[in-house]
Amino acid sequence: MTAFSVENENGIAVVTFDLPGEPVNKLTGDVMDEFGSLLSRLGEDGMVRGVVLISGKPDNFIAGADIEQFSRLRSAAEASALSREGQEIADRVAGFPKPFVVAIHGACLGGGFELALACHWRVISDSPKTQLGLPEVQLGILPGVGGTQRLPRLVGVRAALDMILAGKSERADKAYRLGMADEIVPESILRQTAIAAAERIVRNGPPRRAHKGGAQALFLDRTPIGRRIVYAQAEKQVRERTGGHYPAPLASIEAVKTGLERGLNAGLKEESRLFGELAMTDVSRNLVQIFFATTALKKDDGVPGAAALKVSPVRRLAMVGAGFMGAAIAGTAVLNAEVEARLKDADLPKVGKGIRGARRILDDRLKRRRLKQPKYEQLVALLSGAADYSGFLRADLVIEAVFEDLDVKRRVLAEVERETRDTAIFATNTSTIPIGSIAAGSARPEQVIGMHFFSPVEKMPLLEVIPHAGTSAETVVRAVRFGRKMGKTVIVVGDSPGFWVNRILLPYMNEAGILVREGVPIDLIDRTMTEYGFPVGPVTLLDEVGLDVGAKVAKVMHGAYGDRLEPSDALERMLADGRQGRKNGRGFYEYRDGKKAGPDASVYSLLGVTPQENTPAATVERRLLYAMLNEAAMAAHEGVIRTPRDGDIGAIFGIGYPAFRGGPLRTIDTLGPARVADTLRELAGIYGHRFRPSASLVAMADRGEKFYPE
Ligand code: T1G
């Protein structure tokens, strides 16, 4: 293998990294070996006075260590050794006897960024494709090639922790501002600039870097007392954010601290030791699986043989319904897919409100400097609307986001079919109505499909695409690809009530209602599930979604699946008392000035119960969790999802199922299907038949199978 090629430019060796046969550069064992020998050669070569490292890939510098290789590690010792080998290479770069400059364009992540940090001078391109970061904690590990040591020394402990603990990456201009790069230039002169920098250092000796930041920064970053404050604050924040479920951020703080307080060598040693430990945790294994699942979904068009189909991309979108959902879908489409979006609603004031709503998403990006003014203006111009169907003839895709009512949706479909070209797709953003029944009266049912977005659309990463029995493969592919262009992770799911996400969410929400109805304290229920790892508890979620919406979905699901999904009367009673949740400031919680306050104590008397303060959290957790697990297993076996992977990603991205647990189906595997079935039987014995394990789960347990074969 030759991943590196060298050209000598007047004494500067330009080393181009281009891993053969791969879309991105990554640091495999072989790559590191080859790079190591190259360093020896360049060090000894009398014709070489300085080195420039650059990538041969169009828009990628180095994506980090090879995650595939990393996921095959079997022991902490093996993982630590790998980290130490990487550190040694980085040390050799840092101590290289000749100027070593790096030229970065594209993603420079993980081990790739750590290698860059060891170089003597960093030049980056100002392209939006360029991003520098240490995403390791998102894989449940920490930067293991000296990143926890060199980044804080370069940019200060606060900026470094900010990045490492969130696993985030920075775009070129911000990375430069923070001091992660020494020069920022247009891509077209990146290579020459790096060569010139190497020559300059050969001539003038090592450059000095001015420290950025004021007196407070100096105090906090540069004194042991100041840093102690920073570590303590960071630890507190991490504990609050992760509930102690994610060990990697805390370990990162430990590695940074050791290095800054006890020296580089001690720090590197601690870094590789912790790296080894973290690599073996279930948390890391689950997060790595999620990485693989999301990258696989980026290429999955939802039907077998999609590559052979002839489908044209969606260039123009039209929306029917410019309400909250419609506006957010249009705004997100314009922002990410850069398509024209035409909004239609019943009257012009509604249309105007919708366009303003869509524009707010763009305004927000402009404010946060994620969009530049000219681009912003160009995007705003893509939004238009009317109170009739004018402009719909141009649309390739029409998304309907009107009132949840079958007759209304059918009427809209008929109108849209009259007003659009016969190649246009009609997608409905229903959350409860079967796509097949909406399509029943369609003139072109093969072009009718469901696209179920989650609110807030601009933030939620998931999209469910739902073909009905008569949807064509081409329509599926067009919808999936467009969803991806909108920035979503897309799963294709079956056309049965609740599809996937609401199907598994509903029994969980129902159980929360039943618990409240028994007098189990609202905050106990919510706290139990946030401690399990959900971002919010089920009762808070009910308030957020709206009790009217929740009750309606519950009714539909009860009708579809019968007794098992019978809701308590908690929501009906709340609604009768005029409580709709956050939107009208009255729900299970109190709201003051639009902010959620504590649980509303009057709920208990409204429901005629006394708070059961002594309910064990373990009981609450089991009832809520197992309601979801049982439904997930059942729906998976019915074929609602194509693979367990889709199901777990849907749960994590759609409802915030704790990522470190890998998803509900992964949880069943971890607990063991037989144990899950036993617990469900036990729960059914106490609380009733709604907990009876599904026949398919029992059969699976009997056969000793799992969702993910080992
Ligand atoms: N390892 C293995 N494969 C990788 C990879 C990696 N680091 N990065 C990308 N790929 C594959 C990906 O699976 C896909 O494969 C193809 O490249 C294109 O990716 C010691 C241990 C770089 C921003 O977490 O964020 O360094 O499907 O479709 O949208 O401290 O990939 O074609 O076969 O995603 O243009 C830390 C993860 C590693 C970066 C490109 N690094 N990658 O996005 O393309 S841990 C990461 C990304 C580490 C050290 C530690 C993105 C990208 P295939 P893609 P993209």
Q: Which residues contact 531 (CB under 8 A, 6 or more apart)?
A: 243, 617
Q: Looking at the predicted structure, is the pLDDT value of residue 650 above 70?
A: yes
Please give the Cα distance from 254 to 137 (Å, whole number).
Answer: 14
Predicted pLDDT of residue 208: 77
Q: Looking at the predicted structure, is the pLDDT value of residue 422 above 90?
A: yes
Burial of 683 (0-12, 13-18, 19+ CB in 10 A): buried
Please give the Cα distance from 27 to 19 (Å, whole number).
Answer: 9
What percentage of the chain's residues is helix, strand, coil (to nearest 5)?
55, 15, 30
Please give the Cα distance from 362 to 610 (Å, whole number).
Answer: 48
Told to judge if 404 belongs to the known catalytic residues of this protein, a careful annotator would answer no
Instruction: Give how far Cα 504 sits from Cα of 636, 646, 654, Å.
Output: 10, 13, 11
Average pLDDT over residues 537-556: 95
Asked if the peptide bond before residue 538 counts as cis, ω within 30 degrees of 0, the response is no
Pairing of strands 60-62, 107-109: parallel
| 622 CA distance to ligand 1 middle (Å) | 37
- 444-458 CB burial, b ≥16 within 10 A, e <16: bbbbbbbbbbbeebb
Predicted pLDDT of residue 503: 97
Predicted pLDDT of residue 532: 96
Average pLDDT over residues 226-252: 94
Mean pLDDT lowest among 122-126, 242-246, 379-383, 634-638:
242-246
Predicted pLDDT of residue 594: 84
CA-proximal residue: ligand 1, atom 8 (nearest): 63
| 502 CA distance to ligand 1 middle (Å) | 31
CA 156-158-163 angle, to 5 degrees, is 100
Paired strand residues for 65: 27
CA-proximal residue: ligand 1, atom 25 (nearest): 63
The token pair at 589 is 């919680």
Please give the Cα distance from 137 to 288 (Å, whole number).
Answer: 10
| 167 CA distance to ligand 1 middle (Å) | 14
Confidence of residue 369 (pLDDT cuts 50, 70, 90): confident
CA-proximal residue: ligand 1, atom 18 (nearest): 23
Average pLDDT over residues 570-589: 95
Confidence of residue 211 (pLDDT cuts 50, 70, 90): low
Confidence of residue 216 (pLDDT cuts 50, 70, 90): low
Reported pTM = 0.93
Q: Which atom of ligand 1 lies at the shortest distance from residue 135's CA?
A: 24
| 64 CA distance to ligand 1 middle (Å) | 7
Confidence of residue 56 (pLDDT cuts 50, 70, 90): very high
Q: Which atom of ligand 1 lies at the shortest distance from residue 82's CA?
A: 20
Sign of the Cα torsion 147, 151, 156, 159 reads negative
- Sketch out the chain's domains with CATH numbers: 4-280 (3.90.226.10), 311-492 (3.40.50.720), 501-703 (1.10.1040.50)
Predicted pLDDT of residue 441: 87
Residue type, 73: L
Q: Looking at the predicted structure, is the pLDDT value of residue 213 above 80?
A: no
Predicted pLDDT of residue 47: 97
CA-proximal residue: ligand 1, atom 36 (nearest): 110
Predicted pLDDT of residue 212: 58
CA-proximal residue: ligand 1, atom 23 (nearest): 107
pLDDT 10s digits, 468-490 = 999 999 999 999 999 999 999 99
Confidence of residue 1 (pLDDT cuts 50, 70, 90): low
Average pLDDT over residues 119-147: 97
Q: Looking at the predicted structure, is the pLDDT value of residue 696 above 60?
A: yes
Residue type, 651: A
Residue type, 48: V
Catalytic residue among 254, 464, 474, 511: 464
Please give the Cα distance from 526 to 619 (Å, whole number).
Answer: 13
pLDDT 10s digits, 154-191 = 999 999 999 999 999 999 999 999 999 999 999 999 99
Q: Looking at the predicted structure, is the pLDDT value of residue 451 above 70?
A: yes
Higher model confidence: residue 595 or residue 222?
A: 595
Average pLDDT over residues 91-116: 98
| 169 CA distance to ligand 1 middle (Å) | 13
pLDDT 10s digits, 284-308 = 999 999 999 999 999 999 999 999 9
Residues in contact with ligand 1 (CB, 6 Å cut-off): 23-24, 26, 60, 63-68, 70, 86, 107, 109-111, 114, 135-136, 139, 141, 143-145, 147, 295, 298-299
Which residue of 35, 67, 114, 484 sits with most ligand 1 atoms within 8 Å of its CB, as the best mutation to test the pocket? 67
Q: Looking at the predicted structure, is the pLDDT value of residue 201 above 70?
A: yes
